[in-house]
Every structure is written in structure tokens, then in C-alpha cells.
């Protein structure tokens, strides 16, 4: 078992053995810190008694011998075993005896160890939540839009454009939102972009820019409630025939 620095070991015992003057019968408590390969008397290993200390020795090892104070009733023994802290600790009760018989022996009951380090299966950490019901799944950074490429253009003007995201870059059609990095470059005038899912865009911008600037920002955007894996990008710009190149990279999704 795993033992912590606050652990205690306790048990109840009743014993009646030959006394030291007439026999070599007695019991002691031992511990192994290497999974049972070797054993050592528990106080020699560093444990200390709170109650019920040994009263004799047998074969050179401290031991309980004779009769316990409440015999034939049991007495409790408690030890601090924090000095034995670690994993794979084993405990055993060792009884040494000679060939003479005729007394009751050693009875042990209700062995307990407190503050143990309990082994088990580690559960996976909970998924990241947004809102309270969606889990986040990371994907390798991947580009879903670059209007500088002929097959993904043209550059944005003053418009609210639908952009397909799902079924690209490992984003499933079941995704409800995406984590993105949005970059603007070559804007002809001052303006801003707003990423949104559907309908009327929120009154906040995702990224602001001035003419000629290249800027980037991270964002999370919902996808269309229609379930088609799209989002919308609103470009708000001034001037005659404004334009701005937009680059969109995804790094994860929520579902």
C-alpha cells in the first residue's frame, strides 16, 4: 500500500505466550519497503509507538510476550508510520515460538492504516468548457482561408461574407465553434473585422487595423446554427472601393 507522512497503523491484539523466563514465544510487527523482498522490525525502520509498545524481545527482535494488560480482552496498538512514507509498503505480523505448547497464542483484529496513498486509475482531465456544455478539441494549426490565393479570394471589401470552415483542417461538421487566429494585411483604409455565427453581428470587433497595416489576433467564433459549418466575417471599412486581405487559421473546435 501507499503510506503518507501522516499515516498511522493501528490494530487490536490479545496474547498469551510463554514468558521470557520459560520460552521463546512472542510476536512483533515488521515492514517491507521493497514489495516484500526484505523485511525489518517496524520501529527499526523508523515507526514510533503511540500506544501499546513492545514489552519484551524474542530472538533479538523487540516483541510482545507474556500476556497483554487486558487479557483475555484485547488492547489497541497505534503507531506513527509517517517515516515509512512511500509506495509498495507491506506489513506483516511475525510470531516466533519454540516447541513448547500449552498457552493461548496471539490474536489480532481490526487492522487499519490511515491517510493511505490509494492506487487507482487516473481519470482523464475534464474537457475545457465554453458556455457550460461544449468541449474543446485541439487540432494542428491549419489555414482555412487566405484571400491572397486566387481560389479563396477576392479580398474583402465592405461586406459580411460567409466562410466555410467545417470539413477542412480536421474540423467536423458537428463543430459548434472554432478557435482561430485572424490576420489582416494590405488594407486600403482604416477598419475592423468582426467574426460571428449568424444574423446581426455583435457590436464589438475581432481585429482593428489602419491602412497598410498587417495585424493578427486570436478569437473564438461560433458557427452557424444551420449546422453547415460556416461562420461570417464582417468587414467594416471606409473610403472608395476598400479592400483588405484576410487570413484565417484554426487551432481547435468546440462541440
The CATH number that applies at residue 180 is 2.60.120
Question: Residue 122: inside a domain, yes or no?
Answer: no
Domain of 64 in residue numbering reads as 2-117
Q: Residue 121 pLDDT more than 70? A: no
Asked if residue 86 lies in contact with residue 52, where contact means CB atoms within 8 angstroms, the answer is no
Say what the pTM is. Answer: 0.50
The C-alpha cell 489555414 sits at: 143
Give the least confident one: 13-17, 23-27, 69-73, 238-242: 23-27
Residue 164: count other Cβ atoms within 10 Å of its Cβ. 15
Q: Residue 123 pLDDT more than 70? A: no
**Cα distances (Å, whole numbers) of residue 145 to 35, 52, 123, 189, 231:** 59, 76, 37, 21, 12
Integer Cα distance of 252 and 192 in angstroms: 23
The C-alpha cell 498469551 sits at: 16
Both 106 and 203 in one domain: the answer is no
Question: Residue 39: inside a domain, yes or no?
Answer: yes
pLDDT in tens, 107-120: 999 999 998 886 65
pLDDT in tens, 32-50: 998 888 999 999 999 999 9
CB within 8 Å of 119: residues ≥ 6 apart? 2, 87
Integer Cα distance of 255 and 244 in angstroms: 31
CB within 8 Å of 169: residues ≥ 6 apart? 139, 140, 142, 143, 144, 250
Question: Residue 123: inside a domain, yes or no?
Answer: no
Question: Residue 144: inside a domain, yes or no?
Answer: yes
| Single residue among 91, 117, 143 that ends a domain in this structure | 117
Both 161 and 214 in one domain: the answer is yes
Integer Cα distance of 27 and 245 in angstroms: 85
| Single residue among 67, 84, 117 that ends a domain in this structure | 117
Both 53 and 92 in one domain: the answer is yes
Both 147 and 242 in one domain: the answer is yes
Both 9 and 67 in one domain: the answer is yes
Amino acid at each position: 500500500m501507499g503510506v503518507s507522512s501522516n499515516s498511522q497503523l493501528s490494530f487490536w491484539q490479545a496474547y498469551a505466550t510463554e514468558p521470557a523466563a520459560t520460552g521463546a514465544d512472542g510476536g512483533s510487527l515488521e515492514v517491507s519497503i521493497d514489495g516484500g523482498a526484505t523485511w525489518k522490525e517496524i520501529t527499526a525502520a523508523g515507526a514510533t509507538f503511540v500506544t501499546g509498545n513492545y514489552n519484551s524481545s524474542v530472538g533479538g527482535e523487540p516483541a510482545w510476550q507474556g500476556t497483554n494488560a487486558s487479557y483475555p480482552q484485547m488492547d489497541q496498538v497505534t503507531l506513527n508510520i509517517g517515516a515509512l512514507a512511500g509506495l509498495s509498503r507491506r506489513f506483516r505480523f511475525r510470531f516466533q515460538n519454540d516447541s513448547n505448547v500449552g498457552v493461548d497464542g496471539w490474536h489480532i483484529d481490526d487492522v487499519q492504516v490511515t491517510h493511505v496513498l490509494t492506487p487507482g486509475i487516473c481519470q482523464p482531465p475534464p474537457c475545457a468548457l465554453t458556455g457550460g456544455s461544449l468541449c474543446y478539441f485541439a487540432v494542428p494549426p491549419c489555414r482555412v482561408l487566405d484571400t491572397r490565393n486566387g481560389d479563396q479570394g477576392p479580398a474583402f471589401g465592405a461586406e459580411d461574407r460567409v466562410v466555410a470552415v467545417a470539413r477542412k483542417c480536421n474540423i467536423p461538421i458537428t463543430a459548434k465553434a472554432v478557435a482561430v487566429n485572424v490576420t489582416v494585411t494590405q488594407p486600403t483604409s482604416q477598419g475592423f473585422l468582426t467574426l460571428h455565427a449568424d444574423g446581426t453581428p455583435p457590436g464589438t470587433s475581432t481585429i482593428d487595423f489602419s491602412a497598410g497595416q498587417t495585424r493578427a489576433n486570436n478569437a473564438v467564433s461560433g458557427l452557424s446554427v444551420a449546422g453547415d459549418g460556416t461562420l461570417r466575417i464582417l468587414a467594416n471599412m471606409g473610403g472608395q472601393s476598400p479592400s483588405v486581405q484576410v487570413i484565417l487559421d484554426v487551432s481547435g473546435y468546440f462541440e
